[in-house]
């Protein structure tokens, strides 16, 4: 048995309390040491989002998998949710007053929902389209921040409401940490059961939609998708899409799903290409990749993340932390590989399948462990400073860079027409023309004019102690 002081110091979400005694009769001095690996991990997630969003069009193999499988882009969302879980564990180590904690959770959830609707609901058309506004008949209710809001709300409320049964003593056995935080795992298990039961038992009937795209040969055409099945994981007839069509309505779903790059839709798969003459009837249909049922499954990503945070709190030695983290990560990866290779439950980001949860959470655990060894154990902090800086101002970089608000602002100052702006000039003359390749020029532009630029900006803001947090 070992004794851990949980939640008695005032510290940031990345702080891990340490105790130090000076002299035999000295009073304990408590100090907070920020775990830099957490900031670097968060920064890496933002960098990946910028890379795959803005360079994915040129290098579509790093973009989201058209359906089953896992590409670089498919790690972004679960990495976000994983680190949100870790941060919740550290931020709620101490809950002096439950009512204040609940108010804080609800307020942060509402802020995330507001920014999600503003940035991804259709109101903002940044960065290339300088117009704004959305038809409420077509507003997209779901999105990245909305999913993070739901996961944060559930995981944080469980963490806050179970404060009275929070342990101060955790044994060093392999399952002791799981037993100590059983309510968090019960919450994750309930989410798992709801998702799995709904996925395999819900009857999906035939459905239809009208495709709208000005100038397209199929504009105004109605397509009918034949289903009448249960427990399917294909694009057309899965429970995830059916739930969203029923709850939100088909006009409120994402209109450019990545499945249009699948083999059933184009001969250029996994790249974007012309629609096949015999393309499946669902190829032009809307589908919500951050939908309701898949977001229920996403709660598991946050639950696994909060477990990593609990390990960080209770186990003070590097070896103990790394042992628990790596065993968990490898177990998740093995589970995912078995489920996917046997085709029992394929890896699928769009459905947020259980194998996908395990695979991406296992990968997140390995990446966090690697960062922890390199940065916090070996002290190799300098090479990862720009990731730390971005991670400490993740919301700012997400809004300004990943969601294109800053480029849209710059594009608003143009000469004669919107194509003659500073952003377009830099992209065309400094990157594309110099390298004589739009594909390579796009990649270099994203690396230097976006990622490196915002790394420097985040570093300056860090020196000035300016942070944007919800």
Q: What is the pLDDT of residue 126?
A: 84
pLDDT at 10: 37
Give the confidence band of 171 by pLDDT, cuts at 50, 70, 90.
confident
86-90, 162-166, 226-230, range with the lowest pLDDT:
162-166
Report the pLDDT averaged over residues 333-355. Answer: 96
pLDDT (mean) for 447-470: 93
- State pLDDT tens for residues 232-257: 999 999 999 999 999 999 999 999 99
How far lies 401's CA from each of 10, 47, 60, 249, in Å?
A: 32, 10, 20, 30
Q: Would you say the pTM of this structure is higher than 0.85?
A: yes
Residue 29 has pLDDT above 50, yes or no: no
Please tell me the predicted confidence (pLDDT) of residue 417: 85
Q: Give me the percent of the chain exceeding a pLDDT of 90.
A: 73
Query: What pLDDT was estimated at residue 127?
Result: 83
pLDDT band (50, 70, 90) for residue 448: very high
Task: Please tell me the predicted confidence (pLDDT) of residue 128.
Answer: 79
For residue 104, pLDDT beyond 50: yes
Report whether 300 contacts 191 (CB < 8 A).
yes
pLDDT at 11: 40
- What is the average per-residue pLDDT within 423-431? 90
Taking CA atoms, 390 is separated from 384, 438, 452, in Å, by 10, 27, 10
Q: Tokens for 35?
A: 């775990």
Q: Quick check: 231 pLDDT over 90?
A: yes
For residue range 74-99, what is the model confidence (pLDDT) as tens digits? 999 999 999 999 999 999 988 888 99
CA 400 to CA 397: how far, in whole Å?
5
Task: Read off the pLDDT of each residue in 133-147 and give the average, rounded to a whole number.
Answer: 94
Checking if the pLDDT of 30 tops 50, the result is no
Check residue 15 and give its pLDDT. 66
Q: Where does the pLDDT of residue 16 fall: very low under 50, low under 70, confident under 90, or very high at 90 and above? A: low
List the chain domain ranges: 15-34+65-200+293-380
Neighbours of 260 (CB within 10 A): 21
| For range 432-440, the mean pLDDT | 90
Report the distance separating Cα 177 and Cα 200, nearest Å. 32
- Non-local (6+) Cβ contacts of 295 within 8 A are 142, 146, 147, 150, 151, 352
In this prediction, residue 17 carries a pLDDT of: 52
State residue 60's pLDDT score: 86
**129 φ/ψ angles, rounded to the nearest 5 degrees:** -90, 120
Mean pLDDT of the chain: 90
pLDDT tens digit sequence for 370-412: 999 999 999 999 999 999 999 999 999 999 998 889 998 888 8
Maximum average pLDDT range among 24-38, 210-224, 346-360: 346-360
For residue 202, pLDDT over 60 is answered with: yes
18, pLDDT greater than 60: no
- State the helix-helix crossing angle for 144-161 and 292-314, rounded to 10 degrees: 50
Query: Tell me, what DSSP letter sits at residue 300?
Result: H
CB 66 within 8 A of CB 270: yes
What is residue 13's predicted lDDT score, i.e. its pLDDT? 56
pLDDT at 23: 43
3-state class of 186 per DSSP? helix
């Amino acid at each position: 048995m070992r004794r851990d002081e949980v939640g008695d110091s005032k510290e940031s979400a990345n702080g891990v309390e340490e105790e130090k005694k000076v002299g035999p009769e000295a009073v304990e001095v408590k100090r907070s040491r920020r775990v830099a690996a957490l900031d670097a991990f968060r920064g890496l997630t933002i960098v990946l989002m910028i890379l795959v969003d803005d360079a994915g069009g040129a290098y579509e193999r790093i973009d989201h998998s058209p359906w089953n499988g896992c590409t670089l882009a498919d790690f972004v969302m679960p990495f976000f949710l994983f680190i949100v879980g870790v941060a919740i564990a550290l931020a709620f180590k101490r809950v002096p007053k439950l009512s204040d904690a609940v108010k804080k959770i609800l307020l942060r959830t509402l802020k995330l929902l507001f920014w999600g609707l503003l940035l991804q609901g259709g109101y903002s058309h940044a960065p290339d389209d300088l117009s704004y506004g959305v038809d409420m008949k077509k507003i997209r209710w779901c999105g990245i921040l909305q999913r993070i809001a739901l996961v944060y709300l559930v995981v944080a409320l469980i963490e806050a409401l179970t404060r009275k049964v929070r342990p101060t003593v955790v044994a060093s056995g392999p399952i002791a940490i799981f037993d100590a935080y059983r309510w968090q795992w019960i919450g994750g298990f309930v989410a798992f059961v709801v998702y799995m039961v709904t996925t395999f038992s819900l009857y999906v009937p035939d459905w239809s939609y009208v495709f709208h795209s000005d100038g397209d040969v199929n504009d105004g055409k109605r397509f009918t998708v034949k289903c009448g099945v249960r427990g399917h994981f294909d694009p057309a007839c899965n429970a995830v899409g059916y739930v969203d069509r029923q709850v939100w309505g088909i006009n409120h779903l994402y209109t450019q799903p990545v499945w249009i790059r699948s083999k059933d839709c184009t001969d250029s798969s996994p790249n974007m290409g012309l629609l096949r003459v015999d393309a499946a009837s669902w190829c032009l249909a809307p589908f919500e990749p951050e939908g309701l049922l898949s977001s229920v499954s996403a709660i598991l990503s946050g639950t696994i993340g909060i477990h990593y945070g609990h390990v960080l709190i209770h186990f003070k030695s590097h070896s103990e932390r790394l042992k628990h983290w790596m065993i968990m990560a490898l177990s998740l990866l093995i589970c995912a590989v078995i489920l996917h290779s046997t085709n029992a439950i394929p890896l699928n980001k769009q459905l947020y399948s259980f194998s996908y949860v395990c695979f991406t959470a296992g990968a997140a655990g390995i990446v966090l462990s690697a960062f922890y060894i390199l940065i916090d154990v070996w002290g190799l902090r300098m090479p990862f400073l720009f990731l730390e800086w971005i991670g400490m101002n993740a919301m700012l970089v997400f809004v300004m860079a990943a969601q294109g608000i800053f480029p849209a602002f710059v594009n608003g100052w143009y000469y004669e027409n919107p194509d003659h702006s500073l952003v377009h000039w830099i992209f065309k003359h400094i990157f594309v023309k110099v390298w004589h390749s739009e594909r390579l020029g796009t990649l270099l532009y994203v690396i230097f004019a976006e990622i490196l630029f915002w790394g420097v900006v985040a570093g300056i803001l860090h020196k000035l102690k300016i942070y944007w947090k919800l």
